[in-house]
Amino acid sequence: MARNRSQQNIIPLEECKKFVEKWKKNPLSKPRIEKVVVNICVGTSGEPLERAMKILEQLTGQKPVKLLAKKTIKGFGIHRGEPIACKVTLRKKRGEDFLRKVLPAVQHQLKFDSFSVNTFSFGIDEHLKIPGTRYDPELGIFGMDICVSLERPGFRIARRKRCKSKIPSKVRISPLEAACYMMHEFNVQII
């Protein structure tokens, strides 16, 4: 069956081979997953938020934190300081495992437009698309946003307390390199 034009990889494999050869020559230049942030925004506090938190805890195995509204929007019934969303931050190996679990929900396809410098994001409209999850009528169905941060060894210089410095632009991970990393490590198709 032939794929239509929008379903084909827009990044040629030859481009990615250059990055793979570079990573083999210098293993410290290979990107890695720093953290994966999973966010569910409900828009109201109370029972819907509690249900979203239960679903997030079941999927990730970590207790989520509540996020508060930054400003009041009367049209939506949102008040400043009211909890309206929840998130979980998964680091290193836990983040990689969660990403491998979630990618089949989007058919291992990511848009190139979702890649940025050092990060990429994608969304899932129903958590039931994640393999291994079952529908619970008491909890309902929620969508979620997944934001992944990439780094190289040595990015700690931007976070450390003593002698903190900026990361040079030539060391940052470009959107093309991030897309090639996902194609190489996670068998993702970039559309």
Query: What is the distance between the alpha carbons of residues 157 and 167, in angstroms, rounded to a whole number?
Result: 7
- Please give the share of the chain, as a percent, with pLDDT higher than 90: 47
- Calculate mean pLDDT across residues 84-94: 93
pLDDT at 4 over 90: no
pLDDT at 32 over 80: yes
The shares of helix, strand and coil residues in the chain, as percent rounded to the nearest 5, are 40, 25, 40
Query: What is the distance between the alpha carbons of residues 68 and 51, in angstroms, rounded to a whole number?
Result: 17
- CATH ID of 5-190, from 3.30.1440.10, 1.10.287.130, 3.40.50.450, 3.90.550.10: 3.30.1440.10
Model pLDDT, residue 7: 62
Model pLDDT, residue 5: 47
Determine contact, residues 102/109, Cβ cutoff 8 Å.
no
- Calculate mean pLDDT across residues 124-139: 88
Q: How confident is the model at residue 78 (pLDDT cuts 50, 70, 90)?
A: confident
Domain ranges of the chain: 5-190
Q: How confident is the model at residue 75 (pLDDT cuts 50, 70, 90)?
A: confident
pLDDT at 65 over 60: yes
- What is the tens place of the pLDDT at every residue in 132-156? 888 888 888 999 999 999 999 888 8
Q: What pTM value is reported for the model?
A: 0.86
Determine contact, residues 143/125, Cβ cutoff 8 Å.
yes
Model pLDDT, residue 8: 66
C-alpha angle 166-168-172 in degrees, rounded to nearest 5: 110
